[in-house]
Amino acid sequence: MIKEKKPETALEYIKVSAEYLCKNNIKDARLNAELLLCDVLKCGRMDLYLNFDKPLTKDEVNLFRTFLKRRQSHEPIQYITGKAYFFGYEFKVKRGILIPRPETEILVEKVIQDILQTGRKDVSIFEIGSGSGCISISIIAELIKENVHADIVSIDISDEALNLCEENSKRILQGNNSVRFMKTDIFRLENLPGKFDYIVSNPPYISSSDYLKLEPEVRQYEPEEALTDGNDGLSFFRRIFGIVSKDKFKGKVFCEIGFMQKDSICNLLNETGFLDYIFYKDYAGIDRILEVRI
Ligand code: GLN
């Protein structure tokens, strides 16, 4: 009997672990194996390729094994490595906080484009649902490059999220921190906490029935309250449009919206008397970003 050779080098470990993940129905198994190993070895993918022949130490093998086990049970890779990339920045993430999504980058892009188009050098923004802080922090970081100053108030109900936001903000914005992260429940907020030019949000817009249809990877690991309103998926939009209308807000509202929500959101907007709006599609051709001029 020929005994199978134990893997030794980085490349050998990648091959066996990609097979293992693939057998367990993990999509992009090879990429996942490489990214997890990069994290263990604290190197980029290019360095990994350059060091394919390098044998792994015992500690590295042990850590890699625990990472693979977690990934095999469908834990998102971002929670395992503790980081996610958004708009070119590295955000710390952890269980309990929504992993930033690529679609949300379109929201950030639209807000930034709009601000730059106005030519203004100072702008104030109110964000609802900070999460990892990815939206507010990316907006500020990008605007700094254009010599535009943004003052942002960003609210969330989760202490855990707000702590992580502070951490991400310190690391990414360094000295240039002009985001105020505040613990506030939008449903208890009477008035807007200041005068703002923009309102931005990627709210929990998944309905309770669609929530049950989400991939187990998302449902088991990501925070329910960041994904669904536990209702028809429109509660946050109703609330945001309601406050905006009551407070006589003048400016623009940008929101990320869910699959097939365009028509119901149009109805809500029309009922509230907001008639100047436009939707932008995401990379899959789905109406995803709402811009309202008020
Ligand atoms: N603003 C964060 C994000 O877009 C969190 C959003 C949320 O928790 N619904 O990732």
One digit per residue, pLDDT tens: the chain, 294 residues?
556 678 889 999 999 999 999 999 999 999 999 999 999 999 999 999 998 999 999 999 999 999 999 999 999 999 999 999 999 999 999 999 999 999 999 999 999 999 999 999 999 999 999 999 999 999 999 999 999 999 999 999 999 999 999 999 999 999 777 899 999 999 999 899 999 999 999 999 999 999 999 998 899 999 999 999 999 999 999 999 999 999 999 999 999 999 999 999 999 999 999 999 999 999 999 999 999 999
**At 26, is the secondary structure helix, strand, or coil?**
coil
Structure confidence at residue 1 (pLDDT): 56
CA-to-CA distance for 62 and 206, rounded, in angstroms? Answer: 38
258 lines ligand 1 (CB under 6 A): no
Best residue among 92, 130, 162, 179 to mutate for probing ligand 1, ranked by most atoms within 8 Å of CB: 130
C-alpha 205 to ligand 1 mean position (Å): 10
Asked whether the beta carbons of 226 and 204 are under 8 A apart, the reply is yes
Q: How far is the CA of 4 from the centre of ligand 1 (A)?
A: 47
Ligand 1 neighbour 84 (Cβ under 6 A): no
Structure tokens at 50: 């350059």
Task: Using the mean position of ligand 1's atoms as its centre, give its distance from the Cα of residue 139 in Å.
Answer: 14
Beta carbons of 182 and 155 less than 8 angstroms apart: yes
Q: Which atom of ligand 1 is nearest to the CA of 86?
A: 10
Q: Both tokens of residue 145?
A: 């490059």
Q: How far is the CA of 183 from the centre of ligand 1 (A)?
A: 14
Gyration radius of the chain's alpha carbons: 22
Pocket flag, ligand 1, residue 104 (CB < 6 Å):
yes
- Residue 6's pLDDT is 84
Number of C-beta neighbours around residue 3 at 10 A: 5
Q: Is 129 near ligand 1, meaning CB less than 6 Å away?
A: yes
Ligand 1 atom closest to Cα of 256? 4
Note the pLDDT of residue 60.
97
Ligand 1: which of 83, 89, 104, 288 to mutate, most ligand atoms within 8 Å of CB?
A: 104
Alpha carbons 173 and 137: distance in angstroms, whole number: 7
Q: Tell me, in angstroms, the distance from the centre of ligand 1 to residue 246's CA.
A: 25
For ligand 1, say whether the CB of 244 is within 6 Å of any of its atoms.
Answer: no
Ligand 1 mean position to 164 CA, how many Å?
12
Distant-in-sequence contacts of 112-120, Cβ < 8 A, 24+ apart? 112/139, 112/142, 112/143, 114/198, 114/252, 114/254, 114/291, 115/143, 115/148, 115/150, 115/198, 116/146, 116/148, 120/148, 120/197
Contact 154, 124 (CB under 8 A): no
pLDDT at 3: 61
Residue 161 is predicted with a pLDDT of 97
Give the pLDDT confidence score for residue 2 in this predicted structure: 57
Query: Do 288 and 104 meet the contact criterion of CB atoms below 8 Å apart?
Result: no
Closest atom of ligand 1 to 135 CA is: 1
How much is the pLDDT for 177?
Answer: 78
